[in-house]
Copies of this chain bind each other. A is one copy, B any other.
Amino acid sequence: MDFSSFSTSFGTSFFVFVVLMLLFTWLSRKPGNSFVYYPNRILKGLDPWDGGSRSRNPFAWIREAFSSSEQDVINMSSVDAAVYFVFLSTVRSEQSFVYMVITALLTLFIVTFFLLALAILVLSGLVLLPVLLPVAATDDNVKIQKAKGNQTFSDIDKLLMGNVKGGSPRLWAFLIATYWVSLVTYFLSWKAYVHVSGLRANALMFPELKPEQFAVLVRDLPPVPEGQTRKEQVDSYFKSIYPETFYRSMVVTNNKQVNKIYKELEGYKKKLAHAEAVYDESKKRGKPEGLRPTIRTGLLGIVGRKVDSIEHYNEKIKELIPKLEDEQKVTLREKQQACAFAFFTNRVTVASATQSLHAQMVDTWTVTEAPEPRQIIWSNLKIKLFQRIIRQYVVCFIAALTILFSMIPIGFISALTTLDNLKKLLPFLKPIVNIVAVKTVLEAYLPQIALIVFLALLPKLLFALSKAEGIPSVGHAVRATSGKYFYFTILNVFIGVTLSGTLFDTLKFIEKEPNAIVSLLASSLPGNASFFLAFVALKFFVGYGLELSRIVPLIIFHLEKKYFCKTAKELKEAWFPGDLGYATRIPDDMLVFTIVLCYSVIAPLIIPFGVVYFGLGWLVLRNQALKVYAPSFETNGRMWPHIHTRVIAALILYQVTMFGYFGVKKFSFSTLLLIPLPILSLLFAYVCQKKFYRSFSDTALEVACRELKEIPNMERIYRSFIPPSLRSEKADDDHFEDALSQVSRVGSFA
């Protein structure tokens, strides 16, 4: 890619960004769009514009994002979001630090060795561009090499490390820069870990009551002894260990059936409300007596007898309510499973219980932290310890296969969706497909469509896989998904793109020397520098532009509002924002980080792009976290150790690549000086893991012992863990209680 095509691409991206930002400024000031641009504020019960500042200047959101404190983010969103910003700002300042290479270390170096280069630099007024550029630019390797061939000479290539001649003493500057980048990464990620650890401690010692801090999840219960109920078994067990702090227990039931009925009932209630709204509207608009909406009772409401909707739904609801109540009773009595929640009156007891071995047989009475009620994956709770372990390995194996051979399912999908196959499978398409124009388009795009579908489905597939591991909470499953997706993007996008140009040519070469993969990767890096430069630019300008302007949710919201939503509930569903989506967002950011890191020395020009990516990201997402996204779970920053590990993984990839690259540059003796770096990184990772990790997987007791604002209302805490489908419809609300105490002796059903 030469300079002109790069600048075209860059310019286009920038233009798109400017347009999208202007669009955002204009659209977000319209009152009708407040649900799209400020849903989180509305959900929190705040005024979207903070006191009528609609007439404020168009860039006020930037000022607001800058002036918001970490505590604001925690209050408006979650600790997880705050932790994410720590990551963004760490990475950003890391790259800025690296940028400071110029002023600090290398200037000295240059002064000594390259007075000429420095003079040119200063004179050119390029003080703000990395010193490495001139070091590279004043050499002329590329020029010579290109002159030999018949290629055109580009300006970007001149700024790369590739322009330095092999064996040149100028490579020392690059070697020192490699160390500098590593040291800055260590320093900043250490600082960030300390900071995040503090954030987590603060969140855990928060004086407001959090129900999950008073409950533990007990899995792998042994069989119920004769003559006891499951509940009695659990109660007597915990009472003997915690005679003073144990409150009560709740046995987890198999809710599949009751959930189904509950869902059906809720569906009818929604439809009833919709039908009533339609009826009311018709009264206002048309005849005063209104037009009662009708529905067909058959398949999808298209065929069958026509009936009055409101009456029909009312009947259905009347039918389902007693059915639900019966099913609730049956579920509570007879569908108890071998796991339970236990509630304690004390945070310290809960924190220490989750870390202690309870039974002499380690695979029974496994006590772990209770997830927040909203993020419990109920169907996973009953899975036994050894099954969980086996599932973990199986899932790990499947995920590894998916990541390594992702091209195979894509190929499979493509093969399935070739025209000939389509014709066979769906014969009614034949007449359409046979039109020449359609045929050409389809033949050209079907594989790409298959790829796009695969990439869109992949996070969902990975999430389903993570859930299949038997993980009890959504937050944890998201973490697991994020890990899998990270390795997918690094392998398929970064390494895939870098090698793909040279892969098939050099496959034979690798076959001969399997160790050559590192030097192959290293030698093909410079060729792709401008591609990745454009990639990062596209990502931040177009990606963040779309993120900020929220074009797609805006359109969907307005369409739904106009043509479908009749009730307030439906409207809320239309604008409800969802959460930040860590499962794909963090791996995407990590990909950019890895790219920038790996190119930071080879093509220092990429650093400002990285700084802009993470700076702009921080700004835009700060706005989104404060005003748009509503977190769907809170894990108190448990994501951080995973982010940290991957930062170190990216760093090691970078160090190994640099080692290979210096080898390619025939800087032989000094290349050996790079060997300590990966070892240092592993050591750093080990020390961090020892020093910090356990405080993320467990709750430190000194944190849990902080006093609460109020005496916890144990009854309310207990009730918050009852799944909605098991909550009683009646006002007295004692039905759950009764059902549990009425439960028959175990002999009859266990």
Residue ranges of A at the interface with B (Cβ–Cβ < 8 Å): 197-198, 200-201, 237, 240-242, 244, 348, 351-353, 355-363, 365, 385-386, 389, 687, 690-695, 698-703, 705
Once the chains bind, are B357 and A701 in contact (CB under 8 Å)?
yes
The 3 closest A-B pairs by CB, nearest first: A352-B356, A201-B360, A355-B356
Q: Is the CB of B691 within 8 A of A363?
A: yes
A689's nearest neighbour on chain B, judged by CB, is B362
Least CB distance, A204 to chain B, in whole angstroms: 9
25 contacts between A and B (CB under 8 A): A197-B360, A200-B360, A201-B360, A241-B701, A241-B705, A244-B244, A351-B356, A352-B352, A352-B353, A352-B355, A352-B356, A357-B694, A357-B698, A357-B700, A357-B701, A358-B700, A358-B701, A360-B700, A360-B703, A361-B695, A363-B690, A363-B691, A385-B690, A386-B690, A389-B690
A351 to chain B, nearest CB (A): 7
Residues of B within 8 A of A353 (CB): 352, 701
Known A385-B690, A386-B687, A687-B386; contact A702-B362, beta-carbon cutoff 8 A: no
What's the nearest-Cβ distance from chain B to residue A194, in Å? 9
The answer to whether B356 touches A356 (Cβ under 8 A) is yes
State the CA gap A200–B701 with chains docked (Å): 28
Question: Distance (Å) between the CB of A170 and the closest chain B CB?
Answer: 39
- Nearest Cβ distance between residue A736 and chain B, in whole angstroms? 28
Contact A361 B691 (CB under 8 A): yes
Bound: A385/B693 CA distance, A: 15
| A-B contacts besides A241-B705, A363-B690, 20 pairs, CB < 8 Å | A198-B360, A200-B360, A241-B348, A241-B701, A241-B702, A242-B348, A353-B701, A355-B357, A356-B701, A357-B698, A357-B700, A358-B700, A358-B701, A359-B695, A360-B700, A360-B703, A362-B693, A386-B687, A386-B690, A389-B690
Report B-chain residues with C-beta under 8 Å of the C-beta of A240. Answer: 702, 705
Question: Judging by beta carbons under 8 Å apart, are A360 and B695 in contact?
Answer: yes
Q: Is the CB–CB distance between B702 and A237 below 8 Å?
A: yes
Which residue of the partner chain B has the closest CB to A365? B702
Given known contacts A357-B700, A690-B385, A701-B357, A695 and B352 CB-to-CB distance under 8 angstroms = no
Q: How many copies does the complex hold?
A: 2
The residue on B at minimum CB distance from A698 is: B357
**Within the complex, what minimum Cβ distance (angstroms) separates A333 from chain B?**
27
Q: List chain B residues, Cβ under 8 A from A244.
A: 244
- Contact present for A695 and B197 (CB under 8 Å): no
Most buried by B among A353, A362, A691: A362
Q: Which of B242, B362, B695 lies in contact with A694, CB distance below 8 A?
A: B362
Give the interface centre of A244, A357, A705 by most chain B CB atoms within 10 Å: A357
**Cα distance, A694 to B358, chains bound together (Å):** 10
Which single residue of chain B is at the shortest CB-CB distance from A240? Answer: B705
Q: B702 touching A358 by the CB < 8 A rule?
A: yes
Which of chain B's residues have a CB closer than 8 A to the CB of A692? 361-362
Cα A361 to Cα B690 with chains together (Å) = 10
Chain B residues in 8 Å Cβ range of A702: 237, 240-241, 358-360, 365
Which of A353, A357, A360, A698 has its CB near the most chain B CB atoms (within 10 A)? A360
Distance of A202 from chain B, by nearest CB (Å): 10
The reply to whether B241 and A361 contact each other, CB–CB distance below 8 Å, is: no
Residues in B with CB closer than 8 Å to A198 are: 360
Residues of chain B lying within 8 A (CB to CB) of residue A242? 348
Which residue in B359, B363, B699 is a CB contact (below 8 Å) of A700?
B359
Per the bound structure, the CA–CA distance linking A244 and B241 in Å amounts to 15
Interface centre among A197, A358, A693 (most CB of B within 10 A): A358
Report the nearest B residue to A351, measured CB to CB: B356
Q: Which residue of B lies closest to A198 (CB)?
A: B360
**Which chain B residue lies CB-closest to A704?**
B241
Residues from chain B with Cβ under 8 Å of A356 in the complex: 351-352, 355-356, 698, 701
Least CB distance from A377 to B in Å reads: 23
Q: How far is the CA of A703 from the CA of B356 in the complex (A)?
A: 12
Q: Which residue of B lies closest to A705 (CB)?
A: B241
State in angstroms the CA–CA spacing of A352 and B699 once bound together.
13
Closest to A202 in B: B360
Return chain B residues, CB-CB under 8 Å to A359. 695, 700, 702
A118 nearest CB across to chain B (Å):
43
Q: How far is the CA of A74 from the CA of B694 in the complex (A)?
A: 37
| Residues in chain B near residue A705, CB distance under 8 A | 240-241
A348 to B362 CA separation, bound complex (whole angstroms): 17
A385 contacts across to B, CB distance below 8 A: 690
Q: Which of B361, B365, B703 contacts A197 (CB 8 A)?
A: B361
In the complex, which residue of chain B has the Cβ closest to the Cβ of A237?
A: B702
A464 to chain B, nearest CB (A): 26
